[in-house]
Amino acid sequence: MQTVRIEIQQQGGPEVMQLLTAELPPPGAGEVLLKHLAIGLNFIDTYHRSGLYPVSLPSGLGLEACGVIEALGHGVHDLKVGDRVAYAGGAVGAYSTYRIVAADKLVLVPDGVADEVAAATLLRGMTAQYLLKRTFPVQAGQTIVFHAAAGGVGQIACQWAQALGVRVIGTVGSAAKAKMAAAWCDHVLDYNDATWPQQVRDLTEGLGVPVVYDGVGAATFEGSLDCLALRGMLVSFGNASGAVPSFNPGILAQKGSLFLTRPTLGHYTANRGELVETAQDYFTALAQHRIVPEIGQRYPLADVQQAHRDLESRNTTGSTVLIP
Ligand SMILES: NC(=O)c1ccc[n+]([C@@H]2O[C@H](COP(=O)([O-])OP(=O)(O)OC[C@H]3O[C@@H](n4cnc5c(N)ncnc54)[C@H](OP(=O)(O)O)[C@@H]3O)[C@@H](O)[C@H]2O)c1
């Protein structure tokens, strides 16, 4: 069986991603052969490509896809040929037409969820799930700040938070994105305006918010600390603008006995039970129309370089799918 896949020989700009054809072995014990129907593009893919996160070279890229099972390895009993499944996380290599995947990383995709939605949003949906329900479990009536509210995770998480009865202050980087995010945020602030932390205080009677979810990183770190209430929590879950620089923990005391956590999806879906529960909770929220994720961009797999350029230059909204 042949697959067409993206490979990098070295880390660097989008140009290091090259399309090649490779031979796949039959699936081994506990594995399945998957024909990809759609592939998700996530910001973390740019970190694996650029060198911000390490990979062992040469390497594939991509963590997320939806596909149909074409063959089963030994010992796989709870899935069958023809099942439509998705995965989000694990080893890199989703940018491919066919792939061998560990069966215990797969979840069945319910009938009502389209291939593109499963492929482009399972990782983000599960991220929103653990952030809002397990890292800092939000409660109805609370006000939160969610950065990059027009982005992939942002759109899903803000819709979900509102459905949970939370008042959402979303931040964005342009007027066009502000208009868009107003559909799922109670208030939208532009974080290019340096007064945004004060604007958060103005919206919360001077108190600040109990939690800030920050996937932007370096550019928003200080402001995020500045708009937290006493004993509030900064959930720093990404680095879209670059990694947060080193800092003295004493700053957390000075700014109100704050908490800081730096979570990742892998640690919140560390075993099969957690993975299935997290995915099912997301699929249920989709089925109840509490979340309607937008697939803002579609690219053929061969155009992945352009897809990365657009994501890194802030030219995407919602989630992005690659078509194999
Ligand atoms: N820890 C986890 O478990 C986990 C899981 C999934 C994702 N993440 C993180 O969550 C964040 C969002 O991921 P996503 O895939 O949904 O991406 P995304 O939000 O669709 O895209 C990133 C957004 O970040 C904003 N941004 C601010 N400064 C930026 C800069 N200098 N360069 C590029 N973008 C900048 C842009 O929105 P504006 O134009 O509005 O500023 C951009 O559209 C990423 O940091 C990602 O690594 C973490």
- Note the pLDDT tens digit of each residue in 268-286: 999 999 999 999 999 999 9
Tell me the three state secondary structure of residue 288: coil
pLDDT computed for residue 48 by the predictor: 98
> Is the CB–ligand 1 distance for residue 312 below 6 Å?
yes
Q: Taking 90 as the threshold, does the pLDDT of residue 1 lie above it?
A: no
* d(CA 177, ligand 1 centre) in Å: 13
The whole-number pLDDT of residue 17 equals: 98
The pLDDT of residue 24:
97
The residue whose CA is least distant from atom 36 of ligand 1 is 314
Which residue ranges form the domains of the chain, and what is each CATH number? 2-122+268-323 (3.90.180.10), 140-262 (3.40.50.720)
Q: Tell me, what's the pLDDT at 188?
A: 98
- Ligand 1 centre and the CA of 150: distance in Å? 9
Ligand 1 centroid – CA 42 distance (Å):
9
Q: Which residues lie across from 211 on neighbouring strands? A: 233
Helices (H), the chain: 43-50, 115-130, 152-163, 175-181, 196-203, 221-226, 250-254, 265-268, 272-287, 304-312
3-state secondary structure of 215: coil
Tell how far the Cα of 215 is from the centroid of ligand 1, in angstroms: 6
Q: What is the mean pLDDT of residues 82-99?
A: 97
